[in-house]
Amino acid sequence: MIPNSTIGTEAENWYEKSSNEVLDVFDSSSSGLSSAEAAARLVADGPNQIKQAKRPGVARILLSQFRSLIIWILIVAGAVSGIMGEMANAIAILVIVVLNAFMGFYQELSAERSVDALRLLTAPEVKLRRDGRVLSFPAVQVVKGDILMLEAGDLVAADSRILQAASLSIMEATLTGESETVEKQAAAFLPGKIPIGDQSNMVFMGTSVAAGTGEAVVVATAMDTQLGRIASLLDQAQSEKRTPLQQKLDAFGRLLIWIALGIVAVLFGLGYLRGTPLGELSLTAIGLAVAAVPEGLPAIVTVALSVGVLQMARRRVLVRKLATVETLGSTTVICTDKTGTLTVGQMTVRALYVAGISYDVTGEGYGPDGQILFADKIAAGDHLPRLLALASVQIGCNNAHLFEEEGIWRVIGDPTEGALLVSGGKAGANRVHMDEESPVIIELPFDSDRKRSSVVRKMPNGRLGAYVNGAPGPLLARCSHIYTQRGVVPLLSEDRRAILSVISGMAKRSLRVLGSAQRDFDLVLNTDICADEVECNLTFVGLAGMFDPPRSEAKGAIANCHAAGIRVVMITGDHPETASAIATDLGIASGALATTGTDLEATSESDLRERAPLISVYARVTAEHKLRIVRALQANGDVVAMTGDGVNDAPAIKGADIGIAMGQTGTQVTKQSADLIVTDDNFATIVEAVEQGRGIYDSIRKTLQYLLAGSTAELLLMTVCVIIGLPAPLLPIHLLWINLVTDGLPALCLATDRIDPSVMNRPPRRRSESMTDRRFLSTMLLTGLLTASVAFGVYFYTLTTKDAETARTYAFTVMVFSEILRAFGARSETESVWRISLLTNRSLLAVVVGTFAVQIWSQHNAVLGGLLKTSPIAFPDFLVLFMFAAIPLFVLELFKLVRPVSVQN
């Protein structure tokens, strides 16, 4: 083993060297490094990662807690108390400052950790050849000398010298700003200086494969790459901002602080004029400021969002951007793929058509059992050579592999090709034989714009033969001849008509139809030949109709969307009639014919915008059309979620409000441009994510409501007493206790409450809607008023009959009781308390019971009682206080009954 950390650290002109020379420098070979060697190099050179802008360390996060105004208000309050000899008060305030800072610190740290965990889950993967086998690895594990396997949709994980390339083209915009793709090949350059944009035998980290396939040997990783050198330029773009909702609430919180300080100043002046002693006045003023500010507010949003994100990960949705969680709740249209998302993505060929005859195929799944039937009898005799002719195209141009695992046959690769492999096998064709007899020369893999794939093989007779499978309509347009019972003859228009009607018949049965064609060549082809040159003057051979059953849960999920006021739009590359048949079956559209890509070409932007709200099924579209559809919907004010899997889908995914990539079939590029990754590719999971998004928004709203109503009550009570000239009903320590313990803990439980089962029964929230709308503010005021009135009544009455300390204790107790009781009512804005089981939020129940116990115990405990300045309350009085404390909850519940449920929107 050579000393690794020194290999190739010199920035060399790799493009001048032949691929073998480069392999030698890195002590690698075309079968790749050994795992042991790769592991050693990883240790020596470090992970293949661009260093990000320094993220705040533990100490920084802790310090940042002291940057908030409220903490300083508290510290000043503590100091003032200390100076005035109120030591207990001062210590209590300081303890609470530390506790508060620690809680904020802990929440921020765990939010940071969970974001890290998610980043790991959504990290890009690469295919490497190691120990002679191709396996998938996290991109950070790539080392120099590794062999990268590249195909359309892959991200290039490190700077590498190309060893082989087949129609390989790369998107280098991230590096060069050039939006055109660049063709790549393996040939070396003459010595000399060449800018990276022209180094066509090199691929660079951070770029992506637009088309074709290739292999390349890694020459630089991490900060040694071209991307690493310019990484400092990218830093800013990568740091995640606070989400729009967080920003709005930050601003709202600041506004509250200033309002509170304003009120405090006015009351302070008023007290001063009346001649209240300055010391007492400052304490009250500090108390008021503390009362008005909901300390828990910023933490609540972070906690609700990050807990939500983790819950979603458990339900197979990876969130790549926190802000997405907020947008999800206001989704109005979900544009979804058909194959694999609405359907299970498991194809079985049910029908074949060749030389003018239709056949049925039996057997399910990817297993070899099953027969080809003609008129309900096993096809034999003359049928066999024709079926074999079709099968050889289906199998000859095919990259899928079948394998048996625990008695179940599975497919590796494209399920469509897997199905063709199975039906080809049923007709007696065998790819292993074929590969020996006629080796593959050129592959032109499937892409969703061409909608076909081709393979050119060297035939035993020395000529070249092309096998083409693809969407039958467009394929037919490229055929000039047809294979018939009489041999190959020119394709007439009546043949076309007959074939089109067979296609349409299959499509109406919900079958995905694939056409097969072939040709041979006189000329010698070079490997750089483009698809158009191969896929023309073809001989049409036959059709296969395959069934891909709808997912059983999709129908229910679509019905849920409709109940939730969300439109579902199917966008597929498949045949319009297949699309319509499945859409009708799933309840997306009722029999209306699909709008096709060709229709879209003929539609102007403004017409599309007008028609978009009425179209539920798009068929035979390309990726470019997807972007137009997104734009048209957005122009109408829709909030659009869009799924995609292929490379070409990336622009549409980026353009959508919520871009969703498929975890299993999605390419790396799609995943990197998406906001969400759905790991099971299932439509129902997307709908669950929307539900979660709505639920999280609700939780934040109700928690905010709960906290602010509490602050309003405290502020009202204090203000009224100061104005009337009564002694302060609550001491700063009481207010802190209420804000942090008896409000803070229930608030945390509310922020992570279960999702209201009815969230999907109402229309989407408008994105422009403010969280603090009229209903929100009026409920907040009403609640504050009720709670303050009850506490004031109790305080005033006790003050006239007993001493000030007892009156304070009573006011404090009734306030705490009513706050924690109200936490139950705050769980839903519309649903009555008695309809929501207490057991669905056990932590809230525990917090409430615990707080009750502590409240009662504190009055009989010398230390806590001394700290909180409370005196013991007799048991009968407790019951009375409890009953008074329940009044706000009861009144609010009555309001829920009379207010119409739909006011929410």
User: Of Mg ion, ligand ADP, none, which one sits near residue 574, judging by CB under 5 to 8 A according to partner kind?
Assistant: ligand ADP
Q: Which two tokens stand for residue 280?
A: 């007492």
337: annotated active-site residue: yes
The minimum distance between CB 414 and Mg ion, in angstroms, equals 8
* Angle 60-63-68 from CA coordinates, rounded to 5°: 125
**What are 251's two structure tokens?**
């601003």
Q: Which residue number, 535 or 574, has a Cβ lying nearer to Mg ion?
A: 574
Which of Mg ion, ligand ADP, none does residue 41 bind to, with CB < 5 to 8 Å depending on kind?
A: none
* Binding site partner of 17, from Mg ion, ligand ADP, none, Cβ cut-off 5-8 A by kind: none
- Number of Cβ within a 10 Å radius of residue 315: 14
Q: Which helix (H) or strand (E) holds 889?
A: helix 875-898
For residue 285, what is the DSSP state?
A: H
Minimum distance of Mg ion from residue 345's CB (angstroms): 8
671 binds, among ligand ADP, Mg ion, none (CB under 5 to 8 A by kind): none
CA distance 457 to 466: 6
Alpha-carbon distance 595 to 608, whole Å? 11
- Of the residues 45, 146, 154, 337, only one is catalytic, namely 337
Of 28 and 339, which CB lies nearer to Mg ion in the complex structure? Answer: 339
161 binds, among Mg ion, ligand ADP, none (CB under 5 to 8 A by kind): none
How far apart are the C-alpha atoms of 819 and 811, rounded to whole Å?
12
Point out the residue whose Cβ comes nearest to Mg ion: 339
The least CB distance from residue 625 to ligand ADP, in Å, is: 11
Q: What one-character DSSP code corresponds to residue 739? A: I
Q: Which does 414 bind (CB under 5 to 8 A by kind): Mg ion, ligand ADP, none?
A: ligand ADP
Tokens standing for 823? 């936490």
Nearer Cβ to Mg ion (267/514): 514
Min dist CB 318 to ligand ADP, Å, is 21
Residues that bind ligand ADP (CB under 6 A): 337-339, 414, 416-417, 446, 448, 451-453, 469-471, 512, 514, 572-575
Nearer to ligand ADP (CB atom), residue 453 or residue 560: 453
Minimum CB distance to Mg ion smaller for 447 or for 675: 447
Q: How far is the CB of 510 from ligand ADP (least distance, A)?
A: 12
Q: What residue number has its CB nearest to ligand ADP? A: 573
CA distance linking residue 768 with residue 786, whole number of Å? 31
User: Token pair 């001849």 is at which residue?
Assistant: 481
- Nearest approach in angstroms of CB 644 to ligand ADP is 10
Are the beta carbons of 661 and 678 closer than 8 angstroms?
yes
Residue from 446, 330, 328, 301 nearest 750 by CA: 301
Instruction: Identify whether the C-beta of residue 506 lies closer than 8 Å to the C-beta of residue 513.
Output: yes
In whole angstroms, the minimum distance from the beta carbon of 339 to ligand ADP comes to 3
Residue 392 found at the interface with Mg ion (CB under 5 A):
no
Pairing of strands 377-378, 372-374: antiparallel
By beta-carbon proximity to Mg ion, the closer residue of 548 and 714 is: 548
- Comparing CB distances to Mg ion, the nearer of 495 and 548 is 548
Instruction: For 64-95, give the DSSP string.
Output: HGGGSHHHHHHHHHHHHHHHTT-HHHHHHHHH
Q: What is the DSSP letter of 550?
A: B
Q: What is the DSSP letter of 809?
A: H
Nearer Cβ to ligand ADP, position 255 or 477? 477
With 0-12 CB in 10 A as exposed, 13-18 as middle and 19+ as buried, what is 179? exposed
User: By C-beta, is 225 or 339 nearer to Mg ion?
Assistant: 339
Distance CA 128, CA 132 (A): 10
Residue 829 C-beta: closest distance to ligand ADP, Å: 41
Give me 887's structure tokens. Answer: 């009044």
Residue pair 315/351 in contact by the 8 Å Cβ criterion = no
317 bridge partner residues: 678
Separation between Cα atoms, residue 686 and residue 678, nearest integer Å: 7
Of Mg ion, ligand ADP, none, which one sits near residue 338, judging by CB under 5 to 8 A according to partner kind? ligand ADP
When asked if residue 643 is in the footprint of Mg ion (CB under 5 A), the reply is: no
Is residue 682 part of the contact set for Mg ion (CB under 5 A)?
no
State both tokens at 168.
Answer: 């390989």
Q: Which of the residues 308 through 347 are near Mg ion (CB under 5 A)?
A: 339
Choose from ligand ADP, Mg ion, none: what does 702 bind? Cβ within 5-8 Å by kind: none
Nearest distance, CB of residue 390 and ligand ADP, angstroms: 14
539 binds, among ligand ADP, Mg ion, none (CB under 5 to 8 A by kind): none
3-state secondary structure of 571: strand
Catalytic residues: 337
Binding site for Mg ion (CB under 5 A): 339
